[in-house]
Amino acid sequence: MPHNLLLLPAPRQLNVLNDSLDLPNDRLIVLDAPNPQTLYFSAKRVQAALKLYAGVTWPIVAGTAVPTERVGLTLSVVSGGVAHPQGYQFSVTDSGIFIVAGTAAGAFYGSLTLSQILRQRGRSLPQLRINDWPDFPHRGVMLDISRDKVPTMKTLYNLVEKLAEWKINQLQLYTEHTFAYQNHPEVWAEASPLAGEEILALDAFCRERFIELVPNQNTFGHMRRWLTHERYRHLAECPDGCDTPWGYFDEPFTLNPEDPDSLNLVRGLLDELLPHFSSRQVNVGCDETVDLGQGRSAKAVAARGKGQVYLNYLLKLYRDIKARGRTMQFWGDIVMEHPELVPQLPRDAIALEWGYEAEHPFDENGARYAAAGIPFYVCPGTSSWNTIAGRAENALQNLRNAAQNGLKHGAVGYLITDWGDKGHWQPLPVSYLGFACGAALGWAYQANLEQDVAQLTGFYAFDDPTGKMGQLAYRLGNAYLRADWPAPNNSVLFSILQEEAEITAKRQGPTTEKLQETLDYLDSLSTEFADARANTPDADLIQREFIWGSDTLRHACRRGMWAMSGQDAAQKAALAADAERLIAEYRSLWLARNRQGGLKDSLALLEKMRQTYA
């Protein structure tokens, strides 16, 4: 029969019956497993949900030697009891609640579903049957902690709690220079990095929630934060700067793959970093080696080809990772630029197929990996970066595309990326929409394809049963569409904030009329944000973050119209005052979730915007 349960993710098979079960006071939670201790954490979470939402307190016991009539919930692990190692069967009957799984992880996921139902139905549960398991065995989130935000431990713990509740089981923290390497203190001195002890604590926190914390350290490109220091500059491909697809960089960017000391540096980093993680995987990055062949490896590239020089370095790194008992993950963009290399990849390394536009060729590229027998993840994104408030519609289409074609070609993982390019201006809650959508699609694509993502986000990210907060986040995330000027991996409003006014004045689009239309749209949303409320402990902060995001986009519209219309002096003064207010609030919001390190660099970009009005 139809049901109105809102579940994140929606289970694969759900059959709601006509009857209900009223939960009595005097019942037990029974742990039935060869090792009941592995179920205790799951049971404690259910016990707390029963007390909070149903008003009953059920003690936890181990083993079945208890009176049958006293049993309210049986949490069972039976080897081979369900087909999938992360799957579970869940039923509510006249006799009580039953969750059966083949592993402790499956039992945990069943307990999460029960807690979500309790939250909505309280003491009277619908009788039902659920048979559920994930499409992708690895369902992850990657958070950029190098450009430029390094979250506080409180922020990380709160995020892990959210992701665990949505059945995410992998977390990566993208790192360039923000781990406190004891052998390289000059690299992270101003970054407020994560210390080894903090990683150990976070790893334990994640493990308890069946999340694998995978180390992530770039080891080839994106090494600017290392190579700008004299101690490492000699290892750079181009020590004095290089051409890139994003313009000329006057700093080094990529390691020289032909210098043996490049790999020696990386080996030292891995030997210090990896012992802090229980995961047997490591993401070594190796993406966007854009200056390869421009400098010290030019002769090697001329002789062997850019792709082969890249692959030779990657294979050396692979052998070092394997010698340390780990599985190597690597970003697949460079290999896809040289598809003839795909058959030469090791069959026990994992390629990360990333792309962030709605129409990214996950189908075509996934087919290449599948044909060569290379295990791979599909890696879409939240589309939050380079935007302020997101590109919501692009994100949803990108996430669906990745899930659909990942399943089609046998991807072993689904990794939702959340980057921080150009100052990491977007507040963290902007990314919740993408995290929620990706968590749902990564678990069961078909069952979640038609889910109302804005409603899910409102309910589960913002604890807003009215759904208003989720709808506003989604609508603000689509403000970029009003400008009617597509910008890959970017929004034009964000570009207007970061570019010189003279460049904006010469733009072919958007028009001043479209900017005014976007401003009117944002004005209407701003009044609604003043009344919308989350009910989470950080509700006030979330409201401030979205109001700041809306106000900053409104500033972008006014800035664009000012630049295109002759740069009126009165408008300039008003923009200067508004910029000062936005910067002050930005500083405050940053420190509410993140460490001090990186703030200076991020603020410098906002100050550059403000200097336009000086």
Mind listing the pLDDT tens digit for each residue in 369-388?
A: 999 999 999 999 999 999 99
Question: In the prediction, which pLDDT does 1 show?
Answer: 47
Question: Does 221 lie in the same domain as 179?
Answer: yes
Q: 461 lies in a domain?
A: no
Q: 26 lies in a domain?
A: yes
Position 6 pLDDT exceeds 90: yes
**pLDDT tens, 278-318?**
999 999 999 999 999 999 999 999 999 999 999 999 999 99
Question: Which tokens go with 335?
Answer: 């290999």
Question: Does 529 lie in the same domain as 597?
Answer: yes
Q: 444 lies in a domain?
A: yes
Position 80 pLDDT exceeds 60: yes
Question: Does 410 lie in the same domain as 382?
Answer: yes
Question: Which tokens go with 262?
Answer: 């490049």
Question: Does 425 lie in the same domain as 404?
Answer: yes
| DSSP, res 596 | S
Q: What is the CATH classification number for the domain harbouring 476?
A: 1.20.120.670
Question: Does 87 lie in the same domain as 168?
Answer: no
Question: Burial of 142 by CB count in 10 Å (0-12 exposed, 13-18 middle, 19+ buried)?
Answer: buried
Domain hosting 75: range is 13-132
Q: What is the CATH classification number for the domain harbouring 291?
A: 3.20.20.80
Question: Does 195 lie in the same domain as 111?
Answer: no
Query: What percentage of the chain has pLDDT greater than the value 70?
Result: 100
**pLDDT tens, 424-454?**
999 999 999 999 999 999 999 999 999 999 9
Give the mean pLDDT of 383-410: 98
Cβ atoms of 281 and 236 closer than 8 Å: no
Give the mean pLDDT of 201-214: 98
Question: Does 400 lie in the same domain as 264?
Answer: yes
Question: Does 564 lie in the same domain as 539?
Answer: yes
Give the mean pLDDT of 518-542: 93
Q: What is the CATH classification number for the domain harbouring 109?
A: 3.30.379.10
For helices 453-460 and 468-477, what crossing angle results, to 10°? 130
Give the mean pLDDT of 544-570: 96
76 φ, ψ to 5°?
-120, 140
Position 494 pLDDT exceeds 50: yes
Q: 47 lies in a domain?
A: yes
User: Mean pLDDT over all residues of the chain?
Assistant: 97
Domain count within the chain: 3
Question: Does 144 lie in the same domain as 48?
Answer: no
* pLDDT confidence band for 3 (50 / 70 / 90): low
Question: Which tokens go with 595?
Answer: 């460490």
* One-letter identity of residue 284: V
Position 2 pLDDT exceeds 80: no
Question: Does 558 lie in the same domain as 428?
Answer: no
Query: What percentage of the chain has pLDDT greater than the value 90?
Result: 96
Question: Does 110 lie in the same domain as 150?
Answer: no
Question: Which tokens go with 19?
Answer: 């009857």
Q: 8 lies in a domain?
A: no
For residues 270, 276, 282 and 288, what is the CA-based torsion angle, rounded to 10 degrees? -60
Question: In the prediction, which pLDDT does 532 show?
Answer: 86
Q: Which of 107, 132, 157 is the last residue of a domain?
A: 132
Q: 1 lies in a domain?
A: no
Position 407 pLDDT exceeds 80: yes
| DSSP, res 25 | S
Cβ atoms of 582 and 544 closer than 8 Å: no
Give the mean pLDDT of 331-354: 97
Position 13 pLDDT exceeds 60: yes
Question: Does 179 lie in the same domain as 258?
Answer: yes
Question: In the prediction, which pLDDT does 81 show?
Answer: 85
Q: 159 lies in a domain?
A: yes
CA distance 383 to 119: 30
- Nearest alpha-carbon partner for 306 in 366, 251, 257: 257
Q: 569 lies in a domain?
A: yes
Q: Which of 86, 116, 132 is the last residue of a domain?
A: 132
For helices 432-443 and 392-408, what crossing angle results, to 10°? 20
Q: Which of 132, 152, 179 is the last residue of a domain?
A: 132
**What is the SS3 assignment for 376?**
strand
The lowest-confidence range among 3-7, 26-30, 344-348, 385-389 is: 3-7
**pLDDT tens, 558-587?**
999 999 998 899 999 999 999 999 999 999
